[in-house]
Amino acid sequence: MGSSYTRKVLVASIKTRESAQAALNLLQKALYIEGIPSTLKHSIHAGINQISSKFDLSPEIPVLRNMILGCQTTGSTAPGTFGDTWKGLCRDQPLCLKVARVNQAESARRLIAECAKKVLALSQYQHPSILPFYGTFRLEGSPERIAIVTPWMPNSTITEYLGLSQETPRLPLVRAFHTLWIPEKYSKYSSPLVVHGNLRPTNILITSAGSACVADFGLSSLKDVANKLQQDLQSQSDGNPRWKAPELMDELANGSFPAPTQESDVYSVALVMYEILVGRPPFYDIKHDSSVVARVSRGVRPTKPFPRELLDMELSEQVWNIMTRSWEGSPSQKTDHARGSREHATD
């Protein structure tokens, strides 16, 4: 599997969809072998992509069994925005179940297939700041309800955590998720190619160890699939304008809105950084979201706190410059400017 010739021979030897599915599942499992060399990992991904393209298949994602469902959670204790959220238990491990209702079996299969593509893309990145994906689960007695299963984060969202632990240093938490899009100069981790599309503080969760991780990677596009399948998802799939890039707010000629990009994610990262470090939401002085949209479209951005306020914040001039470069200019300039100053992120 290590060379392109070996992959070519492997793909050519597969004749049926059944054997192709078995090969995809086996290769997918191989990606999670601890200590696998990065070169071999990339080769396995290439093989998966070739087989997937040839047979129009995706690796099957794990289907969890013997789940004990707890209560349905609401409000800020239900982090993320993909449908209803439940707390479950499997082998004594607490889990988070994001549940979407689908209308028919074919819709369920299409949603799971799309989910498999996102999981495959994210599996290229073993980053401590990305919330792991465990598999799917069908609610007993409700086969039309599919849950995406992730770890349960006992400390909830970053906003709630800091509200209860006000003495916690904020810059290390910001650095953890900031470097997903704007890697530090000497980081051993690479940035994910999967667009988040709905980044805000409710999607930044705190682990039991007190570190920050990002939830719902790739689920923004799954919501689009869900909407096309006419699913009843209780979510805010269009994002909140306080963290949403201005280029996503302009309606297209066909009545739709532009799809999120890595560049729009960079904008959102900066606005989330602002909220965490300043301690107030972006545009906190503007009451109505509709007014936020109007001002952002005119080029208005969050204002810098007064010098006397900065004394109590972990907001250096260098960090402020990273934030402003990430939310100003054209979409491509946001990424270029932010990457150009990334070495200052830890100062």
- Tell me the C-alpha distance between 262 and 331, whole Å: 9
DSSP 8-state symbol, 182 = S
Q: How many CA atoms lie within 13 A of 227 on its CB side?
A: 13
Q: How many CB atoms lie within 10 A of CB 311?
A: 9
The pLDDT assigned to 283 comes to 95
Is residue 191 within 8 A of residue 338, CB to CB? The reply is: no
From the list 189, 207, 331, 328, the residue with the least C-alpha distance to 271 is: 328
Q: From residue 322, how far is each of 184, 224, 237, 325, 334 by CA, in Å?
A: 12, 31, 28, 5, 10
DSSP 8-state symbol, 103 = S
Give the three-state DSSP class for 150.
strand
Is residue 123 within 8 A of residue 130, CB to CB? The reply is: no
Q: What is the per-residue pLDDT across 152-191, written as a single tens digit (0 to 9) for each?
A: 998 999 999 999 988 899 999 998 888 777 655 445 555 5
- Tell me the C-alpha distance between 41 and 125, whole Å: 10
Q: What is the per-residue pLDDT across 255-303, written as a single tens digit (0 to 9) for each?
A: 778 888 888 999 999 999 999 999 999 999 999 999 999 999 999 999 9
- Among 2-6, 78-82, 269-273, which is the least confidently predicted range? 78-82
- Tell me the C-alpha distance between 21 and 327, whole Å: 43
pTM for this prediction: 0.75
